[in-house]
């Protein structure tokens, strides 16, 4: 519950900053720095899409077995265990549940990185 309150207050009262290329690449060229400006939402969306696309492609290619899919689902549930929205939700199947949990606004970039790393280990 405390985590939920902290994240809610952070999203409400802390402005979303821009991340400029100068901050990311020290001593980069000014032309590159002028063209690169990423917001937190863009970084978050790119991580979400990477995780979703990786899961989708590996499911379609048959690279994940049932145990691995259940482990991914269990990990996502552990990340979101403090949020009541996901306790009694009904899903068609495990893949549908994983897609729905991946859309959660409560997942951080670290969570997405963990899921992506886990899926890459399963695939290779």
Render pLDDT for 70-117 as a digit per residue (tens, 0 to 9): 999 999 999 988 888 777 888 899 999 999 999 988 888 899 999 999
The token pair at 109 is 């970039």
* Measured CA angle at 51 (ends 45, 52), to 5 deg: 85
User: CB under 8 Å to 19, separation ≥6 — which residues?
Assistant: 37, 38, 39, 40, 43
Q: Are 67 and 84 in contact (CB under 8 A)?
A: no
pLDDT digits (tens, 9 = 90+) for 14-26: 555 555 554 555 5
What's this model's pTM, rounded to 2 decimal places? 0.64
Half-sphere exposure of 105 (CA within 13 A, CB side): 8
Domain boundaries, the chain: 2-123
């Amino acid at each position: 519950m405390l985590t939920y309150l902290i994240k809610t207050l952070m999203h409400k009262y802390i402005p979303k900053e821009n991340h400029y290329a100068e901050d990311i690449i020290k001593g980069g060229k000014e032309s590159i720095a002028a063209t690169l400006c990423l917001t937190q939402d863009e970084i978050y969306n790119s991580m979400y899409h990477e995780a979703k696309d990786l899961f989708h492609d590996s499911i379609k290619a048959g690279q994940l077995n049932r145990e691995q899919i259940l482990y991914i689902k269990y990990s996502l549930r552990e990340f979101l265990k403090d949020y009541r929205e996901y306790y009694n939700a009904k899903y068609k199947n495990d893949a549908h549940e994983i897609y729905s949990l991946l859309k959660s606004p409560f997942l951080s970039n670290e969570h997405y990185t963990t899921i992506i790393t886990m899926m890459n280990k399963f695939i290779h």
